[in-house]
Structure 1
Amino acid sequence: MAQSGIAGRRTPLSRERVLNAAVALADEAGVESLSMRKLSEKLDVVPMALYKHVANKEELLDGMVEVIVSEIDTRVRGENWKDAVRLRILSARQAMLRHRWASQVIESRTKAPPVVLEYMDSLIGLFRAGGLSADLTHHVMHALGSRMWGFTQEVFPTPPPPADPEVRAAMFHQVARQYPYIIEIATAGSHEQETAVGSGCDDQFEFEFALSLLLDGFERLHQQNWTSGQAHGVR
């Protein structure tokens, strides 16, 4: 009887277990399909049990962001600040590739939990330890934008093309007549969907290309002792 009771004992529900299960569910079926009901089914509990650990779906999504950000390797590596920052951000990139839904959730958040603030503080610390001024680092963080989280935020969303080949071809020709330069650059490069985050052009090559340009530019400004108070701005 005692052995049967032990075997039937469930793993206690905790906030960590709820959040990890939610992340796994989003990985499996997409974040759009995530609901408190489906999450309770995955954990084999009644839905009301979840509300002891997360007040609502928005708080659940906040917690899922915490899980993703905690996966970023924040151990300092690299011979200089630029290498260390690159490795840190590429680690964030790997987290985004493991959880391709995460970028849209991060973009939708309205508040930053402690783990997010800790990550930002540690990233800022790499620039400051490398000798960049607080003034320059302020602008550096703005320039990095969403890249600090491992993805590039698109200026405008790119809708998927029509499935019908004839409709797609007709739409392409119409857009090409109206916006020739957009079509010119859109067809000039190729992208690997296996290494993409989001629905735009943010594949691994594009991400690292932009990151390298930014880091090289930050280094140049640092070497020039740039300040935002310079009369003629960046040159």
Structure 2
Amino acid sequence: MTERPRKSTRAVNRRSAPGVVAHGEGPVTRAVVLDAALEIIDRDGVDGLSMRRLAEAVGRDPMVIYRHVPNKAAVLDGVAEIVFAELSVDTTGTDWAAGLRELARDFRRLALEHPRVVPLLVTRPLATPLGSRPRAVVRPLEDILELLTRAGFSGADALHIYRALFGFLYGHVLNELQEIVERPEETDEVLRLGLYRLPIDEFPRVRELAPVLAAYDGEQELERGLDILLTGLTATLPGPAR
């Protein structure tokens, strides 16, 4: 499959925007603070983020940071917000399945660009009532509902499709990011994955699938999973395809 050109991220655009200068230069805004937080998490993970380190990254006294984000939880919510803001859905598209597939590819791209932010994307929105979430976090839901109802699905079925899609995407990116090869230099798949530690009489199926497990390809897994998901949705839900 040909990889389509990667989109420029909004984080990059913010860094190049006039007036967005860290290290004590220029105005401090919420966008500047969240951009610095995203950089820290990308580099050091969520555990590496503190309000003190964030203030140092922005080049200001911590009290300046608190004017824009009241606490670390708000910073984490904001980081999830600015990454979710990268997702877009063409609500006027005539091929709903193609639109969802494009969204899924974008979500995976963002996850690979910001792997240490993925736990926030999966968990932070769920910790907040739907109506209290940032608009950028709710926007994909609204746009997918619009796309699917325009295509002829009922509102309830459109919501089922949204939940199935994002349930799959969350699981996929977490699984892909956790695929660890123990010995990359090995050509034997059992040794490569460390499966020799599993007794063959207890885990015969896993051992048998060693070549398939070792040949894991995140992009192909995403496309295959979408094939299964979208085909099943088309077959089971009353909508335009039926």
TM interval, short-chain normalised: 0.7 to 0.9
Bigger mean CA deviation after superposition, 135-144 or 63-72:
135-144
Q: Secondary structure at the match of 1:91?
A: helix
**1:45-56 alignment, distance < 5 Å:** 45-56=60-71
- Decide whether the 8 Å contact of 1:93 with 1:150 is kept in 2: no
Aligned to 2:144: 123
**Does 2:182 correspond to 1:143?**
no
**Does 2:195 correspond to 1:172?**
yes
Deviation at 1:76, TM superposition (A): 4.2
TM-score by length of 1: 0.72
Q: 1:38 to 1:56 in 2, by over 3 A?
A: same
- Decide whether the 8 Å contact of 2:149 with 2:155 is kept in 1: yes
Q: 1:153 to 1:140 in 2, by over 3 A?
A: farther
Larger Rg: 1
Bigger mean CA deviation after superposition, 213-222 or 180-189:
180-189
Q: Secondary structure at the match of 1:45?
A: coil
Tell me how far apart the structure 1 counterparts of residues 239 and 86 of structure 2 sit (CA, whole Å): 35
Deviation at 1:122, TM superposition (A): 0.7
Tell me how far apart the structure 2 counterparts of residues 210 and 52 of structure 1 sit (CA, whole Å): 44
Aligned to 2:108: 93
Aligned to 1:191: 216
Among the aligned pairs, what percent are the same residue? 26
Tell me how far apart the structure 1 counterparts of residues 163 and 29 of structure 2 sit (CA, whole Å): 36
Tell me how far apart the structure 2 counterparts of residues 146 and 23 of structure 1 sit (CA, whole Å): 24
Higher relative contact order (CA 8 A, sep 6+): 1
Tell me how far apart the structure 1 counterparts of residues 61 and 173 of structure 2 sit (CA, whole Å): 38
Q: 1:54 to 1:183 in 2, by over 3 A?
A: farther
TM-score by length of 2: 0.70
Deviation at 1:186, TM superposition (A): 4.7
The one-letter code of the counterpart of 1:181 is: R
Deviation at 1:46, TM superposition (A): 1.8
Residue of 155, 158, 161 corresponding to 1:134:
155
Tell me how far apart the structure 1 counterparts of residues 30 and 239 of structure 2 sit (CA, whole Å): 48
**1:9-24 alignment, distance < 5 Å:** 10-24=25-39
- Decide whether the 8 Å contact of 2:145 with 2:158 is kept in 1: yes
Aligned to 1:72: 87
**1:10-49 alignment, distance < 5 Å:** 10-49=25-64
Where structure 1 has 5 or more consecutive residues not aligned to the other structure, the ranges are 1-8, 193-202, 227-235
Q: 1:125 to 1:76 in 2, by over 3 A?
A: closer
Q: Secondary structure at the match of 2:88?
A: coil
Deviation at 1:158, TM superposition (A): 7.1
Tell me how far apart the structure 1 counterparts of residues 120 and 47 of structure 2 sit (CA, whole Å): 10
**1:148-227 alignment, distance < 5 Å:** 151-154=172-175, 172-177=195-200, 178-189=202-213, 190-192=215-217, 203-222=218-237
Task: Tell me the matched-pair count.
Answer: 203
- Decide whether the 8 Å contact of 1:146 with 1:153 is kept in 2: no
- Decide whether the 8 Å contact of 1:95 with 1:150 is kept in 2: no
Bigger mean CA deviation after superposition, 50-59 or 179-188:
179-188
Tell me how far apart the structure 2 counterparts of residues 145 and 72 of structure 1 sit (CA, whole Å): 13
